[in-house]
Amino acid sequence: MSSDWDSVTIIRKKLPNSKVNSSDSALNAARRAGQGISVEKKFNAGSNKNAKVDTNAAKLDQADDVVEVKNVGLAVSKAIQQARMEKKWTQKDLAVKVNEKQNVINEYESGKAIPNQQVLSKLERVLGVKLRGSNIGDKLGPKK
């Protein structure tokens, strides 16, 4: 009879949880125990990558010759500069108002940026100047 009490039946055993420890003490304890520690850098973590380029990557890969990427025109860059100077803003001020980085504004003003419709739309709204289509540089009308 006493042998019935000695046998133990485990129905389910919990699997060990793999826990991510980033504290120094936990990492040191793992090193002492001889466990492997791997460090992976997050790709594009903490950066504003909303603005994507409109060019088709597959089309560029399949092309045999050199494909020229279209840049913002000189008229658009001059219009952005003049509208910004009229409001007496720095490039940093404008970047904060349109929620973009300062180097994005710098590229648009120098004419080196690849046109992105979302960024151009933000700039149009904040500056109050037309930057797309015909008659670039004209003032936008009042809100309807």
**For residue 94, what is the domain's CATH number?**
1.10.260.40
- Does residue 30 lie in a domain region? no
Q: What is the pLDDT of residues 8-59, one digit of tens each?
A: 777 777 766 666 667 788 888 888 888 877 777 766 666 666 655 545 666 7
Contact 137/81 with Cβ under 8 angstroms? Answer: no
**pLDDT value of position 3:** 58
- Does residue 27 lie in a domain region? no
- Does residue 116 lie in a domain region? yes
Domain that holds residue 111: 74-139
- The DSSP code sequence of 46-85 is TS-------S-HHHHHH-SSPPPPP---HHHHHHHHHHHH
Tokens of 27: 């990492």
Provide the domain count of the chain. Answer: 1
Q: What is the pLDDT of residues 67-111, one digit of tens each?
A: 777 888 899 999 999 999 999 999 999 999 999 999 999 999 999
Question: Does residue 123 surpass a pLDDT of 70?
Answer: yes
- Does residue 22 lie in a domain region? no
- Does residue 14 lie in a domain region? no
